[in-house]
A and B are shown apart, each in its own frame.
Chain A
Amino acid sequence: MFRKLAEVFGHGLKNRSFVIGGIISLLFFLVAFLSYFWTPYPVEDINIAERLLKPSTKYLLGTDHFGRDILSMLIKGARNSVIVAFVAIGIGLGCGVPLGLTAAAKKGWVNELIMRFNDFTFAFPSLISAIMITAILGPGSINSIIAIGIFNIPVFARVARGAALSIWKREFILAARSAGKGQFKISVEHILPNISSMLIVQATIQFALGILAEAGLSYLGLGTQPPMPSWGKMLNEAHTFMHFAPQLAIYPGAAIALTVMGLNLFGDGLRDVLDPKLRRSR
Chain B
Amino acid sequence: MSRMRMKTIVTLIVLTLGITINASSVMAGKSSLNLGMVLEPPHLDPTAGAAAAIDEVVYANIFEGLTRIDKTGAVKPALASSWTVSEDKKTYTFTLRKGVKFHDGASFEAGDVVFSLDRARAKDSVNAQKALFKPIESVTSKDPNTVVVTLSQPTGSFLFNMGWGDAVIVDEKSAGKNKSHPVGTGPFKFSKWVKGDRIVMARNEGYWGTAAKLKTATIKIIPDPAAAVSAMMAGDIDAFANFPAPESLSQFKSDPRFKVVIGSTEGETILSTNNERGPFKKLKVRQAIAHALDRKAIIDGAMFGYGTPIGTHFAPHHPAYVDLISTHPYDLDKAKKLLAEAGYPDGFKGVIKLPPPPYARRGGEIVASQLRKIGIELEIIPVEWAQWLDQVFKKRDYDLTIVSHTEPMDIGIYARKDYYFAYDSPEFQGLMQKLAATVKTDARYKILGDAQRLISKNCVNGFMFQLAKHGVWNKKVQGLWENSPVQANDLTQVYWAD
Contacts and interface: CB of A to CB of B under 8 A. Distances in A.
Interface of A: 44-46, 48-49, 51, 65-67, 138-139, 221, 225-227, 239-244
Given A48-B300, A48-B301, A66-B301, A240 B226 contact: yes
B465 to A, nearest CB: 13
B368 A51 contact: no
B247 A139 contact: no
10 contacts: A46-B365, A48-B296, A51-B300, A65-B362, A225-B382, A226-B365, A227-B380, A240-B229, A240-B247, A243-B251
Given A65-B301, A139-B382, A225-B382, A44 B250 contact: no
B381 interface: yes
B300 A244 contact: no
Contacts of A67: 301
Query: Closest 9 A-B residue pairs measured CB to CB?
Result: A46-B369, A48-B301, A48-B297, A240-B245, A240-B225, A48-B300, A239-B226, A226-B365, A226-B380
A162 B374 CA distance: 58
B372 interface: yes
B392 to A, nearest CB: 14
Nearest to B228: A240
Contacts of A49: 297, 300
B360 to A, nearest CB: 13
A240 B251 CA distance: 12
Interface string B265-300: 000000000000000000000000000000011001
- Interface range on chain B: under 10, 10 to 19, 20 to 34, or 35 or more? 20 to 34
Interface in B196-239: 225-226, 229
B366 interface: yes
Contacts of B248: 240, 243-244
B464 to A, nearest CB: 14
A244 B365 contact: no
Given A49-B297, A139-B381, A226-B368, 20 more contacts: A45-B369, A46-B369, A46-B370, A48-B301, A49-B300, A66-B301, A66-B362, A66-B365, A66-B369, A67-B301, A139-B382, A225-B381, A226-B380, A240-B225, A240-B226, A240-B229, A240-B245, A243-B229, A243-B248, A244-B251
Contacts of B372: 44
A229 to B, nearest CB: 11
Interface of A is mostly: loop
A241 B368 contact: no
B366 A48 contact: yes
A221 B297 CA distance: 24
Given A241-B247, A243-B251, A46 B382 contact: no
B229 A227 contact: no
Given A240-B245, A243-B229, A51 B301 contact: yes
A65 B250 CA distance: 15
Q: Which of B225, B251, B365 has the most CB of A within 10 A?
A: B365
Nearest to A47: B297
A243 B232 CA distance: 13
Nearest to A237: B362
A251 to B, nearest CB: 18
Interface string B381-421: 11000000000000000000000000000000000000000
Nearest to A222: B382
A65 B246 CA distance: 12
Contacts of A225: 379-382
Nearest to A139: B382
A48 B294 CA distance: 10
B299 to A, nearest CB: 9
A138 B353 CA distance: 12
A242 B382 contact: no
A244 B250 contact: yes
Contacts of A66: 301, 362, 365-366, 369
Nearest to A44: B369
Contacts of B382: 139, 221, 225
B275 to A, nearest CB: 26
A226 B378 CA distance: 10
Contacts of A240: 225-226, 229, 245, 247-248
Contacts of B251: 243-244
A42 to B, nearest CB: 10
A242 B226 contact: yes
B153 to A, nearest CB: 46
A139 B300 CA distance: 27
A45 B371 CA distance: 11
Contacts of B301: 46, 48, 51, 65-67
A46 B378 CA distance: 14
Contacts of A239: 226
Contacts of B245: 240
Contacts of B229: 240, 243
Interface string B153-174: 0000000000000000000000
Contacts of B297: 46, 48-49
A227 B380 CA distance: 8
Given A139-B382, A225-B380, A243-B229, A46 B366 contact: yes
A214 to B, nearest CB: 17
Contacts of B247: 65, 240-241, 244
Q: Which of B229, B247, B300, B372 has the most CB of A within 10 A?
A: B247
Contacts of A242: 226
Q: Which of A48, A225, A241 has the most CB of B within 10 A?
A: A48
Contacts of B366: 46, 48, 66
A105 B365 CA distance: 53
Nearest to A46: B369
A242 B230 CA distance: 11
A49 B301 CA distance: 9
B131 to A, nearest CB: 34
Contacts of A138: 381
A241 B301 CA distance: 13
Given A46-B301, A240-B245, A227 B250 contact: no
Contacts of B226: 239-240, 242
B144 to A, nearest CB: 54
Nearest to B372: A44
Nearest to B297: A48
Nearest to B387: A138
Q: Which of B245, B297, B380 has the most CB of A within 10 A?
A: B297
A227 B225 CA distance: 22
